[in-house]
Chain A
Amino acid sequence: MSTSTKSKDVARPVPNPKRSLITRLHMGTGVVVGVILAAIVYYLLKKSLLTYTDGAADPLSPHDNNILLLGTMFTWSIGFMIGIGALIGPWRWLVGKDLTDEEILYMAGDGQGVKRYFKYCTDHKVVGIQYLVGVMTLLGVGGTMAMMIRTSLARPGAHFVTPTVYNSLVGLHGITMIIAMIIVATGPFGNYIMPIMIGAYDMAFPRLNALSWWVLFTAIPVLCSAWFLGGIPTGWTAYAPLSIQAGPGMNAFIATIIIFAVSTAVAGMNITTTVVAMRTKGMKWNRVPIFVIGSTISVALAIPAFPTFMVSMIMTGLDRTYNTGFFDANMGGSGWLYANLFWIMGHPEVYVILIPGVAALMEIAPVFVRKPLFSYNAAIMGFAGIAGLSILVWAHHMYIAGWAPSLNGAFMVTTEMISIPTGLLFLVLIGTLWRGKPWMKLPMLSIFAFIWDFLIGGITGIYLSDVPADGYLHGSMFVTAHFHFTLMGAALTGAIGGLAYWYPKMTGRMLNERAGYISFWFVQIGFNVLFFGMFMAGAEGQPRRVLDYAALYKNSNLISTIGAYSVGIGMIILLWAVIHSARHGKVAPMNPWGAKTLEWTVPYPVPLTNFDELPIITSDPYGYGKGK
């Protein structure tokens, strides 16, 4: 591969001296406007909903209360976006005076230092860092809840928290982690690294990029508010009619999903368009780095999936507010309708999570083994095959629902077929490893961990996809252990590998190696112990989502809890390393790993437009190796 870069200073226009509105808005004004608007709407809605007997206000009915809360939550989100200046661009466009060049440059955060991280900043590198901090926060919150769950399950008897708190812990841990994992790779690396990787000045739609992050940001306080509204009893799947029966906390869940779906739709369109339209000269499809391919397939898969979730949540919201009865069998609706909508989103979603993690590791493997990626085409076929099949398998989550027993055979066929493209992913990784000497750095270690964890997740998945075994295992701790092996063991391990790999480009410093190794072993050993215990509990017959269990399961649960604490310690150490190394780490050279993708050809800090002159690509980035 050859690239041509010239270092010449671009003449920067002087920022607009008469400070326009844009320069005065930031996260703080967003919060203020959001809160004020939400308070006004809360007050007005409440006034219009209250009824009185003998001068005293009656308590709001559950339905009216849901209207009040949902209205307030959405207003907060919209208000925040107004307050941070998201609508300035569209407004100007509507009135026919588009933003001036100075204003556009200002919005890209040019020369604003740390402040730009708190603004509606269109620079993809700023958005990438924002996502990274957001992901780490969500993982921290979700991880803390995981520790609470495991503490509570450490011994039988439900001594730690009440059932209400326990059920909320499980559900909110689940949804927090799912949200975090959906953005864990495509958020930070997809935004920061990917445009550089394909040789673009920025994303295709920089303003949408800022929009996707800040919309997601508004969902975080909404999700947290569930705790103060009595929690959620439904788990992350939010099955109806339980979700219709649930208390006010459920509104927070509904609002979060709807807001989040907007964010992923925007981000998905943006990433897909960028990759399709903005690759630099010479980067034909067969020269695109595999991480880019993987991320694009993942977000493209999310584009049809999330609207389904959004729709199911809107319907749940309508059932809860206006009693529409979509999911209420007593009114002619059906809970199976919800389950179908949910899993039509839910199964593609697990691959939305998995694929970028695997793709990151595939990007890493050739660099550290110093061999070309083994069978680039097999990798693409693997991703595409998984993505294609994954929209045809959703009802394997409903084998025992009673919905359509005669379709079980068909869904079993499609599900088992996924093992073929999945097998290709393994082939690509082990083919790359074969006859190479891996350079044992943290990113490389993640590949080995991934192979083990994903193998266990895959094999246990084969039983679960066979109907008779699922008849026993469905709804048990076995399922919980299985999907943690894939979501956490595979996808999160991949994302952590990616973080260790791209950290030097994103912070200008190397991630502390020793701390990285210590954390790695704490996490991986703990993780395997933790979910070995859960496999055991599940095979023994312990249902999932239970706060108390019979004495029979006490050993397996204790094993799990011990493993969980080890994971927790490991994650804290990793967090320390990430924070500490960003300030005090070894200064990273431009290309510390000797990689051949474009992001390693730009200096740190990466210039505003990444390249002074776009590079020209003549080969794929995997030209390692001697001979042949």
Chain B
Amino acid sequence: MANSSDHNAEVLTPTPGERLTHFFARRDVKRTTVLFFLWTALFVVLGLVFYPKWMPEIMSKEMKSAESIMIWFTVISAPIAGLVLAIATNSFMDMHRGDNPPEDGPAIRTHGPIVAVWTVGSLVFALVAIAWGLIEVNSQAVAAASDAKSAITVEVTGSQWLWTFNYPAQGIETHELNLPVGVPVIFDVKSADVNHSFWPVQLGVKVDANAQVTTVIHTTPTKVGVIEVKCAELCGLYHAYMETNGAVMSPSDFNAWVLAQGGHTA
């Protein structure tokens, strides 16, 4: 009995390797595989090309980290998107037209291993995203803490519909945001009225401005250039115009600017 059944098994049950070869020899599987690579490649290219092209100049670590998340999460999700779209496209190409329904397909109700693999796969994917985010958040917090001593402070006030900046150590008050390159900066943000959101675009950070409380955000400008300051929270009539310029400049230029504004350098 035992012998014969062993013998049968050898003949009838293909080895996993054989099953795999059979599987990939199927027409629909072949086509899906090709589609999978095409769609995956498309998403990789989308992520690598479009975001760097669209996003403004990167002038801080935070901005860099935002951009990398957008690019690399697209790349990581590309195979998943590729698989979903490959199966969908494959099915689309097999479509049946006409006024009567097609023949019934195979009565596959579920497939335990596939559901399990898919679930574990998406869990791993979610964990990667979470880990990535937590590490970034943590390293930004650590950097902020260690930079705090050498940082300059800018008190930002949002008023309907203008930003003003107070540099307490320099004793100046302005409507344009100039910063020295390479020096950590702490923004203490508040509002004179409704909620606003302080967004120095090229620095890649943002925090809401609220009445009566101060919210804080840190960054270190890493590059000299023009920055735009916008409001990212709807604040009424002229929200669209609640924008101002600024610049990241060399420390000597910054000092010269401070003096020209009637302030003093440390």
Contacts and interface: CB of A to CB of B under 8 A. Distances in A.
A158 B211 CA distance: 29
Nearest to A369: B105
A451 interface: yes
A1 interface: no
Contact of B106 (A239, A371, A476): A371
B137 A242 contact: no
Interface in A464-479: 465-469, 471-476
A472 B95 CA distance: 42
A541 B240 contact: no
B106 A234 contact: no
A336 B211 CA distance: 11
B73 A463 contact: yes
Contacts of A440: 95-97
Interface string B171-207: 0000000000000000001000111010101001111
A422 B133 CA distance: 20
B34 interface: no
B91 A439 contact: no
Given A242-B234, A416-B126, A549-B240, A468 B84 contact: no
A627 B210 contact: no
A372 B77 CA distance: 28
Given A438-B91, A474-B197, A335 B211 contact: yes
A368 B92 CA distance: 12
Contact of A167 (B108, B216, B237): B237
Interface stretch (B11-19, B162-170, B224-232, B253-261): B224-232
A242 to B, nearest CB: 4
A370 B108 CA distance: 11
Contact of B101 (A416, A419, A594): A594
Interface string A366-391: 01111110111110000000000000
Contacts of A587: none
A420 B119 contact: yes
Contact of B232 (A413, A543, A622): A543
A490 interface: no
Given A402-B210, A468-B137, A245 B193 contact: yes
Interface in A57-83: none
B66 A546 contact: no
Interface stretch (A7-15, A427-435, A497-505): A427-435
Band of interface residues on B: 35 or more
Contacts of B83: 430
Contacts of B228: 541
B2 interface: no
A110 interface: no
A402 B110 contact: no
A437 B94 contact: yes
A203 to B, nearest CB: 31
B216 A402 contact: yes
A336 B213 CA distance: 11
Contacts of A329: 210-213
B105 A451 contact: no
A433 B208 contact: no
A548 B240 CA distance: 6
5 contacts: A433-B88, A438-B94, A440-B96, A452-B85, A475-B197
Give 9 nearest A-B pairs by CB, closest first.
A625-B107, A402-B215, A475-B232, A423-B122, A546-B240, A329-B212, A472-B66, A436-B105, A375-B110
Given A400-B207, A469-B69, A627-B107, 5 more contacts: A409-B134, A433-B88, A436-B102, A452-B88, A625-B105
Interface of A: 158, 163-164, 167, 233-235, 237, 239, 241-242, 245-246, 329-330, 335-336, 367-372, 374-378, 400-402, 408-409, 412-413, 416-417, 419-420, 422-424, 426-427, 430-431, 433-440, 444, 448, 451-452, 455, 459, 462-463, 465-469, 471-476, 536, 539-541, 543-549, 593-594, 622-628
